[in-house]
Amino acid sequence: MKPVSDCHVLVTATSYGRSDPRLKLELETAVSRVTYNTSGKPLTSAQLQELLPDVDGFIAGLDEIDAAAIMAAPQLRVIARYGVGINNVDLAAARAQGVVVTNTPGANSASVAELTIALLLNLLRPIQQAASETRLGSWPRLNGVSLVGKTVGLVGLGAIGKEVARRLAGFDCAIVAYDVAADTDFARRHAITLVALDDLLAVADVVSLHLPVLPETRHMVNAAFLRRMKPGAYLINTSRGELIDEAALLAALIDGRVAGAALDAFQQEPPGANNPLLALPQVIPTPHMGAHSDGATNAMGRMALADCLAILRGETAKYPV
């Protein structure tokens, strides 16, 4: 086995070390060579195939890590995902090549939850419109929606869903949640009512998605899902774009069935200026920034670095997938 001091590590996560330069210094001190992604965006399989042939360790962002990319990396021993989602990684191909895949569970939960709350408040109160008009010298009287007495539905009560629930506690709203493996003790302690998905959609004034992308969740927010939502409700997605059938959401927004949507993730990222959702004033789009806070990036960087170096040293990863 090659000693870690002779290893080459590829880092494609664009915010790695941004808030804590010590992460880069520690990595650069431990290995012989580090290559960073300077494009500012996730890499395609074709781009990875050019970079991976002599790479031993890979600290990965939201890149297209398919079988072709993995097969182009004969020396690769570890893919340390800088984040939780692994839907862009071909796990079967990695396993076949003997590549360990790790991720960083819980590292960005608080950060994503904070963005969820920010988007929720911006949906209910026309803050962006008010700020824009005030800058132009106007003094608009814009009505909003109060959270007091409303119902927020959390679709998914995992690490991030729980953090959102904790932050909603001070808003005097009701919280309902759906999860296939719900933590009943947590729900009881935080006054969360666990319900079936259809019951959640029928009563929630705001529906917030906190699920991974799985075969059974891909495009789960389709025309039927949206029809079951309470008329005039709002939708928030700070999880993955693949959860939503964007054409169905567009239709529901145009006909007013859904009052507004805040989307931090899209099926295609970046979505492109021609994505019709971006043209709707009732849509708040953000560039998959849920994990982009100092606390989250530092925690993800530290966890990904530790597991990457552990595998390169012949040790056991703490967070294998």
**Omega before residue 285 within 30° of 0, cis:** no
- Among residues 8, 77, 210, 288, the one annotated as catalytic is 288
Strand locations in the chain, DSSP E?
Answer: 8-11, 33-36, 57-60, 78-81, 100-102, 151-155, 174-178, 192-194, 206-209, 233-237, 258-263, 283-285
Of 113, 43, 105, give the one whose Cα is nearest residue 80.
Answer: 105
- Among residues 133, 218, 269, 302, the one annotated as catalytic is 269
Question: Helix 109-124 vs helix 127-135: angle between axes, to the nearest 10 degrees?
Answer: 70
- Rounded to the nearest 10°, the torsion over CA 5, 39, 64, 76 is -10
Strand locations in 82-143, DSSP E?
Answer: 100-102
Structure tokens at 164: 């959102």
Distance CA 149, CA 293 (A): 31
288 is a catalytic site residue: yes
- Among residues 8, 77, 210, 240, the one annotated as catalytic is 240
8 is a catalytic site residue: no
Structure tokens at 202: 């029928």
77 is a catalytic site residue: no
Helix, strand, coil percent values for the chain (each to nearest 5) = 40, 15, 45
3-state DSSP call for residue 15?
coil
Distance CA 112, CA 73 (A): 32
Residue 31 Ramachandran class (φ > 0 left, ψ -120 to 50 alpha, else beta): beta
Residues with a known catalytic role: 240, 269, 288
